[in-house]
């Protein structure tokens, strides 16, 4: 039986309705009921139907909105149906007639044919699977694994059978979109190239098993439950079953294959850590995993569960009740924890020399023992130094002032040290140094160092100095200062400059912008965009321009639209400033934005005689206080929209602005209104405790001047302390015009067509510095194709070593 619109009949608590908020063409809306598609709705609805049917659990169960009533006789069935129908009618729950079936001895539930004896896969599904040809595209492989995974309870060792196919799928998905329609389109167009014989054999084997269907019996809590366990390096396999007639296990020790009534098959591959377990740990890990998966059956069965394993050691460990033991095996932490976990269950672990024949027959096709030739054969690969490098070393010995003398002395005396040079010997015309431990190391002069350094660094995944140099000096001997030369080689390595993750402190230093101790002399402005469209004073708005006085921290919130031109924003700003009696400002701080860089905006400010200061691209740290104000405004608007969904968000701008201007600032210790007027503006809350008596009024002018002096001192102290703290975690960088620098990627800057962030270049360049802009930014000579602003903060730059100083003249 299927319920009509069952999800939409369950109200959500008012305090939780904001969790179901969605964006529509009308703005933000939230549902009052559990909607289909929300990840928590199925769990919530399942709890509701379980609560409804709790009194009828003996004959009625449900899966979300699908209800099943089962009975032993037709008379009982009618009574049970009547009880359930009356219950549903009392709750106004309606059933779908076309999806309701009554009086059937068997039915199809969730794709499986179910009757009183057990369940089997639906015939149409078996026919669909058995008729499949070998897969063509990656999407076919994904679909096939999903389809067969649904039937894994019918297949012994399913995880091991599809392991190779799963690995094949995972490997081919690399580089594609992680999910969604993009991945599906790419998977449909990606063909499976050159499947191996084993992949085809696994597909055919799985098809053969699935085409036979299979039948699983119902679990009966009154019958004894049996579990056969097989753990090995290929994974864990489990069969759960009853025995026909439920014989006494003490009398019927040999269970015939025909008497086994399988309930389900379980399987899993080993985790990386589990693959290193020794046999007893591995078998115990498999047992614990099986009990965790089957706990609902183990806890509900009346009789003790019998578990068969082919590893005799765990039979005693599973029964261990004390942690005190002289046997070191039982002191293994893995085994101790497993023993403690298993002690809570009524289980009897028994030893069987081999796993059940059903498991062996099901899997022997896949795991044939390796066949080796009785006569052993060995392949030897000999790796030698190339003749070209040998010739270069010999030539270097002859031309080098130091090594030429040793060469002449020991030449022709293969492997025999001389009295003049007892620490050196010669093999195949190459000089070797004899260490104090009799170990011989090849002598490498300066001339061929580059090739050797390249082998140790470039050909070894560009490892750092210590690893690479240690590898070199283990088998080779170099002239003096080789470590310095090797450092220079790595420092000028082009690949390292582009791909290496820099470990030094970030470049930069904090230069606080000090404003004059006069209100409204310097302001900071910034945008909040992406707001839902709403009406404000007859205009459609969806953005805010936040304005903050640098000295008093007083703010203005100006609504607008993200399609406003520079002129529109300029007019709105000037009107708001004049309406609030702020006047025309001397300096304005802003992050770099196309609106502010337009010719009209710059021309307007030039006409007014106002200086426009900007922060560098992708490093807008000029004024952190305004960034925090933006966050506060966004959070306040979010609360307003959530709590008052029917009220347009612009209506809270005026009260929000008044509240922020009458709130204490953490830097000055005063509210903006106190710095302006020397007293706090009254709010509704301040009237509650008022007595009606006028306090003694002091000289307001003196109080105001005192507050401003204190605020100025506190701002200076805060700026100095912030500069000290910031600079302590950063590294100063001074560059000159003409220097070459790399641009750091993935932190605001990206190149078109870049792949995964972790596996792509970390820097790009080098680029020439055209001009120094301020103290912390530089204008770079960038290609036009990059389409980014050429003024870059030092936080995103990395000095490029002078190519002319590369001793190895690499491009």
Alpha helices in 254-400 (DSSP H): 279-293, 295-300, 313-318, 333-342, 357-363, 387-399
Average pLDDT over residues 503-519: 65
Measured in degrees and rounded to the nearest 5, phi and psi for residue 240 equal -110, 130
Q: Which helix (H) or strand (E) segment is 142 a member of?
A: helix 138-149
Average pLDDT value over all residues in the chain: 75
How many Å is the Cα radius of gyration of the chain? 39
Pairing of strands 107-109, 112-114: antiparallel
DSSP state of 11: B
Q: Which of 268-282, 641-655, 771-785 has the highest mean pLDDT?
A: 268-282
pLDDT tens digits along 434-465: 877 777 888 888 777 777 887 777 776 677 77
- Tell me whether domains 219-363 and 387-491 share a fold: no
Token digits of residue 747? 């932190």
DSSP state of 175: T
How many Å apart are CA 704 and CA 677, to the nearest integer?
A: 6
Please check whether residue 684 is in contact with residue 705, taking contact to mean a CB–CB distance below 8 angstroms.
no
Q: How many alpha carbons fall within 13 Å on the CB side of residue 499? A: 14
How many Å apart are CA 540 and CA 560, to the nearest integer?
A: 8
Per-residue buried b or exposed e for 127-153, using 16+ beta carbons within 10 Å of the residue's own CB: eebeebeebeebbbbbebbeebeebbb
Q: Which CATH number fits domain 387-491: 1.10.287.3240, 1.10.340.70, 3.40.50.300, 3.40.50.720?
A: 1.10.340.70
Is the CA virtual torsion 291, 296, 299, 300 positive or negative? negative
Please check whether residue 28 is in contact with residue 641, taking contact to mean a CB–CB distance below 8 angstroms.
yes
Does the structure show a pLDDT above 80 at 201? yes
Average pLDDT over residues 680-700: 52
pLDDT at site 752: 62
Please check whether residue 224 is in contact with residue 249, taking contact to mean a CB–CB distance below 8 angstroms.
yes
Q: CB-based burial of residue 570 (10 Å sphere; 0-12 exposed, 13-18 middle, 19+ buried)?
A: buried
How many Å apart are CA 623 and CA 588, to the nearest integer?
A: 11
Per-residue CA distances from 747 to 197, 614, 735, 743 (Å) = 47, 20, 21, 10
pLDDT tens digits along 136-170: 888 888 888 887 787 788 888 888 888 888 888 88
pLDDT tens digits along 26-44: 888 888 888 887 778 888 8
Q: Nearest 10 degrees: CA dihedral of 41, 44, 45, 46?
A: 120
Q: Which residue has the tokens 């679990």?
A: 219
How many Å apart are CA 267 and CA 209, to the nearest integer?
A: 15
Q: Which CATH number fits domain 219-363: 1.20.1280.290, 3.10.20.370, 3.40.50.970, 3.40.630.30?
A: 3.10.20.370
Bridge partners, residue 28, by sequence: 23
How many Å apart are CA 112 and CA 66, to the nearest integer?
A: 14
pLDDT tens digits along 92-114: 888 888 888 887 887 777 777 78
Q: What angle do CA 444, 449, 451 make, to 5 degrees?
A: 115
Listed by start position, the domains of the chain span 7-104, 120-211, 219-363, 387-491, 522-685+697-702, 740-805
Quick one: three-class SS letters along 299-336?
HHCCCCEEEEECCCHHHHHHCCCCCCCCCHHHHCHHHH
pLDDT at site 91: 84
Beta carbons within 10 angstroms of residue 640's beta carbon = 19
Place 292 in a pLDDT band, splitting at 50, 70 and 90. very high
pLDDT at site 430: 83
How many Å apart are CA 385 and CA 389, to the nearest integer?
A: 7
Please check whether residue 514 is in contact with residue 719, taking contact to mean a CB–CB distance below 8 angstroms.
yes
Q: Which CATH number fits domain 522-685+697-702: 3.40.50.150, 3.30.420.10, 3.40.630.40, 3.90.440.10?
A: 3.30.420.10
């Amino acid at each position: 039986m299927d319920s009509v619109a069952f999800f939409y009949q369950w109200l959500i608590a008012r305090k939780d309705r904001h969790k179901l908020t969605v964006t529509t063409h009308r703005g933000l809306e939230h549902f009052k009921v559990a909607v289909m598609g929300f990840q928590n709705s199925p769990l919530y609805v399942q709890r509701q139907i379980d609560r409804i049917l709790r009194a009828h659990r003996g004959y009625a169960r449900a899966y979300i909105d699908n209800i099943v009533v089962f009975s032993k006789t037709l008379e009982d069935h009618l009574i049970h149906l009547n009880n359930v129908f009356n219950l549903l009618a009392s709750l106004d729950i309606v059933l779908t007639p076309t999806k309701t079936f009554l009086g059937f001895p068997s039915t199809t539930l969730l794709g499986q044919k179910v009757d009183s004896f057990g369940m089997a896969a639906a015939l149409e599904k078996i026919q669909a699977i058995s008729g499949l040809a070998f897969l063509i595209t990656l999407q076919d492989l994904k679909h096939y694994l999903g389809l067969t995974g649904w039937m894994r309870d019918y297949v012994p060792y399913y995880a091991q059978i599809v392991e190779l196919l799963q690995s094949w799928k995972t490997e081919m998905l690399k580089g594609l979109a992680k999910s969604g329609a993009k991945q599906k389109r790419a998977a449909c167009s990606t063909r499976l190239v050159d499947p191996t014989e084993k992949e085809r054999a696994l597909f055919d084997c799985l098809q053969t098993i699935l085409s036979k269907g299979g039948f699983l019996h119902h679990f009966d809590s009154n019958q004894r439950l049996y579990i056969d366990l097989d753990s090995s390096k290929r994974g864990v396999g489990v069969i759960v079953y009853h025995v026909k007639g439920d014989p006494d296990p003490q009398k019927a020790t040999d269970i015939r294959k025909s008497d086994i009534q399988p309930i389900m098959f379980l399987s899993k591959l080993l985790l990386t850590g589990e693959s290193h377990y020794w046999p007893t740990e591995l078998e115990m890990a498999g047992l614990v995993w099986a009990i965790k998966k089957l706990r609902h059956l183990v806890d509900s069965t009346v009789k003790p569960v019998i578990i068969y394993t082919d590893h005799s050691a765990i039979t005693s460990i599973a029964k261990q009740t004390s942690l005190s033991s002289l046997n070191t095996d039982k002191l293994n932490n893995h085994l101790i924890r497993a023993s403690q976990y298993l002690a809570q269950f009524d289980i009897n672990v028994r030893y069987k020399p081999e796993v059940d024949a059903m498991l062996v027959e099901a899997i022997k096709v896949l795991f044939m023992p390796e066949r080796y030739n009785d006569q052993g054969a060995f392949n030897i690969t000999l790796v030698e130094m190339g003749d070209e490098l040998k010739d270069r070393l010999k030539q270097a010995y002859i031309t080098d002032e130091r090594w030429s003398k040793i060469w002449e002395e020991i030449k022709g005396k293969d492997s025999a040290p001389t009295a003049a040079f007892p620490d050196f010997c010669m093999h195949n015309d190459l000089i070797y140094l004899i260490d104090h431990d009799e170990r011989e190391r090849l002598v490498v002069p300066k001339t061929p160092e580059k090739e050797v350094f390249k082998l140790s660094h470039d050909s070894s995944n560009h490892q750092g100095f210590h690893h690479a140099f240690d590898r070199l000096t283990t088998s080779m001997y170099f002239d003096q200062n080789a470590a310095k030369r090797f450092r220079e080689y790595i420092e000028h390595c082009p690949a390292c400059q582009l791909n290496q993750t820099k470990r030094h402190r970030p470049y930069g230093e904090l230069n606080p912008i000090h404003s004059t101790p006069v209100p409204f002399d310097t302001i900071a402005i910034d945008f909040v965009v992406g707001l839902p469209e709403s009406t404000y004073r007859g205009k459609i708005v969806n953005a805010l321009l936040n304005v903050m006085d640098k000295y008093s921290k007083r703010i203005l919130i100006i609504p607008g639209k993200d399609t406003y031109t520079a002129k529109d924003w300029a007019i709105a700003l000037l009107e708001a400033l004049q309406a609030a009696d702020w006047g025309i400002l001397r300096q304005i701080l802003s992050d770099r934005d196309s609106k502010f860089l337009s010719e009209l905006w710059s021309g307007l400010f030039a006409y007014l005689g106002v200086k426009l200061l900007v922060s560098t691209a992708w490093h807008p740290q000029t004024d952190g206080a305004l960034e925090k104000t933006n966050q506060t405004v966004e959070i306040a608007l979010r609360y307003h929209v959530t709590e008052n969904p029917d009220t347009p968000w612009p209506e809270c701008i005026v009260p929000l602005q008044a509240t922020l201007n009458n709130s204490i600032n953490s830097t000055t210790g005063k509210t903006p209104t106190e710095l302006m007027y020397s007293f706090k503006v009254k709010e509704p809350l301040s009237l509650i405790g008022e007595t009606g008596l006028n306090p003694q009024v002091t000289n307001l002018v003196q109080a105001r001047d005192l507050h401003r002096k204190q605020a100025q001192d506190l701002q200076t102290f805060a700026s100095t302390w912030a500069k000290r703290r910031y600079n302590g975690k950063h590294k100063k960088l001074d560059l000159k015009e003409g220097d070459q620098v790399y641009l750091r990627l993935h932190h605001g800057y990206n190149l078109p067509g870049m792949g995964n962030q972790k596996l792509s270049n970390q820097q790009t360049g080098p680029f020439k510095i055209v001009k120094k802009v301020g103290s912390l930014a530089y204008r770079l000579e960038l290609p036009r194709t990059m389409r980014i602003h050429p003024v870059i903060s030092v936080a995103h730059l990395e000095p490029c070593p002078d190519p002319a100083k590369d001793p190895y003249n690499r491009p």
